Structure 1
Amino acid sequence: MSVTKPKVDPYIDIVGLPSPLRRDQRFMFQVSPLRFAAFFAFIPFWLGAIMPLTIFYQVTTRVLRKLGILEPHPRPPLDSGHIKAPETIQPRKDRKYDIVVLGVTGFTGRLAARHLAQKYGAEGKIIKWAIAGRNKAKVEAVRKSLAEELKMPKIVTEIDIIVADTSDPNTMPALVEDTRAVATTAGPYQEYGNTVVEFCAKYGTHYTDITGEVGWVKQMMVQHGETAKSTGAKIVPFCGHDCIPWDLSVMKLQQLLKDEFNDDLKTVKVWDEALMQAPGGTYQTAMLSLSGNGLYPWTAPFVMALINAKIVRWTYALRQQGEKKISYRETQVHRDFMTAFTVYVGTMILGSSLLNPLTKWLAYQFILPLPGNGPSSENLEKTNYLLVTAEGVGTNGNRVESTFYLPKDPGCLETAKMMVEAGLAMALHETNNGEGKGKKELPSGNDGGFFPPAACLGDVLLDRLIDVGIEYKVRTVAKPEPTIKDKEEDVKPKDKDA
């Protein structure tokens, strides 16, 4: 992805806080006039050929399935029927592992294991962890490659492997019974996630993932919510780029307005500045889900804004403070109109192209990474980033502003960190595991069940993320006291027709 360095500083401080992008000299992606012209010329072909082909394919397949000519897409059962007697569940404080990462043979899963090794080591002195997958040989190959890349030979000898196939319920107890938390990147979750949630709920094992599949999570809540409450398992989805930066940002806006001004959060505006790429598995999930001249003057809808809004409101409802509802608005900031238009319309073109077999094949041949692949190391570490700037206004007019900055690739590298740290927050900060004393406690306490990230993990997670390189800054702005002129204006009689 090319990034054009402008002749002038492109950055503005959207709120009163200085932008970290200015400090780090990070330059936004910009579409050149030539590329924009080529893209614009492609739109008639999309409207005249790709869209009709996609509509025809989707309508035809649905009709054929209704008629019984085509078999419906197979779905795994919501519950395997496995029964676990409560008295046989090993207490979490006595379990061998703090966290097990499932899906390490995938691109983001390997990054999660890499983060654990780099941050906490392989000898179990800080964190005791293991890796899991359905193919032992492939998991062993990942373990070996991590040891070689990081020059940490003890990864091979000290990090255990657990064989767990999400399509075989008989292999799932080994994954969940001896760990406090499972962090899984094995998606699409509606295809491979049911048994992981089920067995975590039944064995009282905390769970975290990086899904953005809202419908699937609702199904899991209905199916396993009561079980998780009874066993104390905290099931916390959406713990990656979906949707931690936004969820934590709004939580802090609400918290600080209350603490500083005794004010209630009423409206939230969020501006996203990003340069990022998704791994191959993300496109696979999206496809599955779909088939069911000034500086910064341009904004456009952010691809994940609808998901973020749902999770933010879920957290807000659980906190049960102040206003019953909040107004939430989220947009993505672009340098100019050409870039905003290309990104927005380009997302629609790509989405529709994945919904028929011809253009889907072409997309994976020439544009998209295959599952298991993702951005280059250069893009992961030095080019890609995400800055979430938020402004919250209270019912009394007081204001809080924040920046949540992921300085490395948000969709893969920082996502892996966020998922792992969410799992460790649950594993290490609950008060009944013998290790929570003296540590900041989770806002969810010892309760089990389904939670959004901020409502469950709160400042514990934010502190852990800051410790691994993610930046959070905030400032509060009190509503100015009215001047004498303001007060005089308030008491003046007003025209009834005004």
Structure 2
Amino acid sequence: MATERLDVIIFGATGFTGKYTVYEAVSVLKDLRWGIAGRNREKLQTVLKEMGAKAKKDLSQIPIIIADVNDEASLIEMAKSCRIVVNTAGPYRFYGENVVRACIEAGTHHVDVSGEPQYMETMQLKYNERAKERGVYIVSACGFDSIPADMGIVFVEKNFDGVVNSVETFLVNGAKDVSADSGRAGLNTGTWESAVYGLAHADELRGIRQELYPQRLPKFFPILKHRPLLFKSTEVNKVCLPFPGSDRSVVMRSQRFLYDHDKKRPVQMHAYIGFPSWLVAIVVALFATLFGLLTKFKLGRILLLKYPGIMSGGFVSPSGPSEARMEKTYFKMTMKATGWPSSQRLAEGSDQYTEPPTKTLMVRVSGPNPGYGSTCVALLSTAVTILRESSKMPSTGGVLPPGAAFSKTSLISELEKHEHGMKFEILANK
């Protein structure tokens, strides 16, 4: 008799993000049947032993599936053995597509924590129609990139009591006290590699988007203007730079989907990141500029990838940050929304306002350990939501960003339930 399908398989469980996803699975997936997958059985057993000890739980009976990202047959067998694959094996530019394709052919849902716009938008371009035919949801950016921003805007719109024209996000990362652990890196090499390749191939995005969206959205007024490159934000009392992550690209894909399918006026969005002083912000800006320039040249990429510790000033290492350091970190994303009260709502989502926005809403999304705590909880929470609330999601499946996939579900409530989850709160409503 065939073995009953698992609910969830965590693929890439021996990687840095993967093993902490296993740890969070003990609580987030406690009512589901789950297993782990990767290439090496001994390493997978070691992860179960280590994370079981950390969670004070015997994980020795958790099923182990052997699957290799370069072995299509093994990926299909893995996908057939569960209802949803939680994919933590990046960089997704190199290792993601084979897993997505296997999941679609097996009729299995798929979520990952990619923050790579080229990968995400290419998957939508190549596989959206096939995923809809198979009734499969493929959802990326289900971690710190970009659940706070994308689901934050969902939270904003649910609480705005009117029509939102624009949202600005201000991200502040912090640590309670890292002085005792200052010698350890703050980032693992997998995330570093994703950033290197993402910037190196950023020019690909224009062509992908022209194919993905041959018809441009209409212009909605007033247009949200960019802030200066470097500025002091009164919203968070920090010196800010444009946020270089995938938040804006993910949010705009969600807004495009909701406009195309629900005729909802799209929210304009710009993202910023805050620093404690002008000096710190200037140093970061200079480093980011140098990093971006190096990614454009073969020799620069070789140096960045071969010597990540040296090139990052010790911030990046294969072992990543220590658990003590991770547990002291947190994030706060403040979101400023402007628009019009419900009394000024227009008849159609495509109609234009002639008066400037008069209403403002300030909200905050926050959480601990954004890199490997909140990220792993968010990833698993999206899997749980697909399994339990697919009836509230776009009915045909597809390759979707989180806001488009989960806007009508209770994902936000699920995120707020867990110790390493995220908190959504209203700060001011005027």
8 A contact 2:120–2:140 mirrored in 1 = yes
Hey, what's the Cα distance between the residues in 2 that align with 1:264 and 1:242? 26
Deviation at 1:475, TM superposition (A): 5.5
Q: 1:425 aligns with which of 385, 394, 397?
A: 385
Q: Which residue of 2 aligns with 1:347?
A: 288
The question of 1:390 aligning with 2:335 is answered yes
2: distance between equivalents of 1:191 and 1:394?
41
Q: Secondary structure at the match of 2:334?
A: strand
Instruction: Name the aligned partner's letter for residue 340 of structure 2.
Output: T
1:200 Cα deviation after fit: 1.1
Looking at structure 2, the residues matched to 341 and 136 of structure 1 have their Cα atoms a distance apart, in angstroms, of 47
User: Runs ≥4 in structure 1, deviation > 6 angstroms?
Assistant: none
The answer on 1:464 being equivalent to 2:414 is yes
AA in 1 matched with 2:132: K
**Are 1:106 and 2:47 matched, yes or no?**
no
Which structure has the highest strand share of the two? 2
Q: CA 1:298–1:424 in 2, change beyond 3 Å: closer, same or farther?
A: same
TM-score, normalised by the number of residues in structure 1: 0.67
**C-alpha distance in structure 2 between counterparts of 1:225 and 1:364, whole Å:** 38
**Within-5 A mapping of 1:3-82:** none
Q: Are residues 188 and 358 of structure 1, via their aligned partners in 2, closer, same or farther at CA, if it must alter by over 3 Å?
A: closer
**Where in structure 2 are the equivalents of 1:334-373 lying within 5 Å?**
334-352=275-293, 355-358=300-303, 360-364=305-309, 367-371=314-318, 373=319
How far apart, CA to CA, are the structure 2 residues paired with 1:376 and 1:273?
21
Please give the secondary structure, in 1, of the residue aligned with 2:37. strand
| Gap regions ≥5 residues in structure 2 | 176-185, 202-231, 342-357
AA matched with 2:417: D
Q: Is the 8 A contact 1:264 1:322 kept in 2?
A: no
State how 1:234-383 maps to structure 2 within 5 Å.
234-257=137-160, 260=161, 263-275=162-174, 277-292=186-201, 296-304=237-245, 307-320=246-259, 324-352=265-293, 355-358=300-303, 360-364=305-309, 367-371=314-318, 373-382=319-328
Within a 5 Å distance, the mapping from 1:105-184 to structure 2 comes to 105-121=14-30, 126-153=31-58, 155-156=59-60, 158-184=61-87
**Which residue in 1 is equivalent to 2:215?**
none
Residue aligned with 2:273, SS: strand
Identity of aligned residues (%): 24
Tell which structure's C-alpha radius of gyration is larger: 1
Q: Aligned-pair distance for 1:109?
A: 0.5
In structure 2, give the amino acid aligned to 1:286.
A
Task: Name the CA distance, whole Å, in 1 between partners of 2:165 and 2:399.
Answer: 25
Residues 164 and 267 in structure 2, CA contact (< 8 A), matched pair in contact too: yes
Query: 1:143 and 1:200 mapped to 2: Cα distance?
Result: 24
- CA shift in 2, pair 1:356/1:399, >3 Å: closer
Partner of 1:187: 90
SS at match of 1:282: helix
Query: What TM-score do the two structures reach when normalised by structure 2?
Result: 0.78
RMSD over equivalenced CA pairs, Å: 2.4
Distance 1:477 1:413, change over 3 A: closer
1:473 is aligned to: 425
How far has the Cα of 1:249 moved from its partner?
1.0
- For 1:159, the aligned partner's letter is I
Tell whether the 8 Å contact from 1:99 to 1:427 is kept in structure 2 after alignment.
no
Alpha carbons of structure 1 residues 288 and 330: separation in structure 2 relative to 1, 3 Å: closer
Q: State the one-letter code of the partner of 1:395.
A: W
Write the letter of the residue equivalent to 2:41: K
Residues 475/287 of structure 1: CA separation in 2 closer, same or farther (3 Å cut): closer
Distance verdict in 2 for CA 1:356–1:181, change over 3 Å: closer
| Greater RCO (Cα-Cα under 8 Å, separation 6 or more) | 2
Partners in 1 of 2:75 and 2:360 — Cα distance?
A: 48
| Cross-structure match for 2:362 | 401
Measured after TM superposition, the shift of residue 150 of structure 1 is 2.8
How far off is 1:375 after superposition? 1.3
Partner of 1:450: 399
Q: Residue 279 of structure 1 contacts residue 412 of structure 1 at CA under 8 Å; is this kept in 2?
A: no
Compared CA separation, residues 409 and 322, structure 1 to 2 (3 A): same
What is the alpha-carbon distance in structure 1 between the residues aligned to residue 336 and residue 55 of structure 2?
Answer: 40
Report SS of the residue matched to 1:105: coil
Residues of 1 paired with 2:109 and 2:413: CA distance?
A: 19
- Helix, strand or coil at the partner of 1:249: helix
Amino acid at match of 2:370: P
One-letter amino acid of the structure 1 residue matched with residue 49 of structure 2: K
Instruction: Give 1:416's aligned residue.
Output: 376
Contact kept? 1:296, 1:334, Cα under 8 Å? no
Equivalent residue letter for 1:135: N
When residues 369 and 98 of structure 1 are mapped into structure 2, their CA distance, relative to the original with a 3 A threshold, is: same
- By how many angstroms is 1:359 displaced? 5.8
**Distance change >3 Å, CA 129–CA 291, structure 1 → 2:** same
Retained in 1: the 8 A contact 2:13–2:47? Answer: yes
**Preserved CA contact (<8 Å) 2:364 2:424:** yes
What do residues 174-218 of structure 1 show as CA deviations (whole Å, max 9, x unaligned)? 211121111111011121111110011112211100111111222
Query: What SS class does the counterpart of residue 25 from structure 2 fall into?
Result: helix
1:130 to partner: Cα distance: 0.4
Cα distance in 2 for partners of 1:337, 1:231 equals 51
Whether contact under 8 Å (2:172, 2:274) holds in the other structure is: yes
Q: How far has the Cα of 1:385 moved from its partner? A: 0.9
